[in-house]
Structure 1
Amino acid sequence: MTKTIRFGAAGIALFAAMGMSNAAFAQDTASATATAEVLDALTLDRTSGLDFGTMVVDGAGTVSLAADGTLDCSASDIVCSGTSAVAAFDVTGTANKAVTINLPTGEIDLTHPDLTAATADEHTIELDAFVSSEAGDEITLDGSGDGSFTVGGSIEFDGSEAAGIYTGSFDVSVEYS
């Protein structure tokens, strides 16, 4: 009799499990939402260029222009005069969005108009150590989608530079963070 009860209980459990397995395979559906955020294209305009002013160079040294316009001309063999200015940029995009500022990471050559292969050392100045006015090189656009920032850097002299105006260009880009 005990065996019959055990087989009977096992049979009931087996049928119950079979009934549950049919319920486990029943179809069900759920909906998911899909979203896509479209942002305005970013535009970047340079409003002024980077200008270190005028220098008298009698030896090696560095002149730095901070993004706030502060000129460091403390090298003992360099005397600075004239007006200096940071590079300034305006950016336009989607309101209240964060934008990353991408600055050059290497050196940029500023060259003298008389540059030749033979005179490269005395006709080239290196521009590097770029800095932006924005902490972490990130700016948040205002409620109208506008923002602005400035860029400074440093130039290196070895003392052999020829007198004249040295020019060059560097690229700055922006992207949504």
Structure 2
Amino acid sequence: MRASIVALFAGVLAWPAVAQAQSNSQNAPTRTELVERITIVKSKDMDFGRLAVDNNPGTVTLNPTDSETCTTSANVVHSGSCIAAEFTGVGTTNRRIRIRKPRNRRIFLTGPGRRMQIRNVVFGYTEGLQRLTARTNRRSIRYRITDANGAFLVKLGGQLRIRRNQAPGVYSGTFNVDVDYQ
């Protein structure tokens, strides 16, 4: 029996000791910043003016500069307005934003003839913004709002493609420009 008690006692000593739970806590700071909601509204429609064309294809390029200009291919005669699309917005000063061009940088116009296309859509003249994206061929362009009141303006242009034997008439279309904080 003595051998049994010694063996039992040795077994109890060999039993792993149960670790006592330890407690430790740390404080983790947290914060957030609420900023004004960013808004953008269309302030001017894009307008290529009146165009006279022969039966050959041609192009009109609307340059979205401070004073918009349209340049045409040899067979296109331009008269009237030449107005870049203009968008104004309000956000938080010094915040970075991303403005996205229409999908595939193209806009489609419908009218009495075959669909027309504005391609190579570009942002041009801006106010209240510092451009951060170097390449212009991207769909998204990043800017920083520099205006003290958070106001900004951006103009958009592109190249209108006129097809061979395009039917005369009024052609129109719509497109989206998206803006969000980065």
Pick the TM interval, shorter chain. Answer: 0.7 to 0.9
Q: Match of 1:138?
A: 142
How many residue pairs are counted as aligned between the two chains? 145
The sequence identity of aligned pairs, in percent, is: 27
Pairwise CA distance, 1:70: 2.6
Pairwise CA distance, 1:51: 0.5
1:97 equivalenced with 2:95 (yes/no): yes
Q: Match of 2:60?
A: 63
Task: Select which of 24, 36, 44 maps to 1:48.
Answer: 44
Root-mean-square deviation (Å): 2.0
| Unaligned runs of at least 5 residues, structure 1 | 1-24, 115-121
1:129 equivalenced with 2:133 (yes/no): no
- Kept in 2, the 8 Å contact 1:57–1:159? The answer is no
Pairwise CA distance, 1:62: 1.7
Q: Match of 2:108?
A: 109
Aligned mates of 1:99, 1:41 — CA distance in 2: 12
Between Structure 1 and Structure 2, which shows a larger proportion of helix residues? 1
Pairwise CA distance, 1:36: 1.3
Aligned mates of 1:63, 1:78 — CA distance in 2: 8
- Kept in 2, the 8 Å contact 1:101–1:173? The answer is yes
Deviations 1:137-164 (A, max 9, x none): 2332222121111111111112211111
Q: TM-score, structure 2 length as denominator? A: 0.71
- Kept in 2, the 8 Å contact 1:139–1:147? The answer is no
- Kept in 2, the 8 Å contact 1:127–1:154? The answer is yes
Q: TM-score, structure 1 length as denominator? A: 0.73
Q: Match of 1:87?
A: 85
- Kept in 2, the 8 Å contact 1:140–1:147? The answer is no
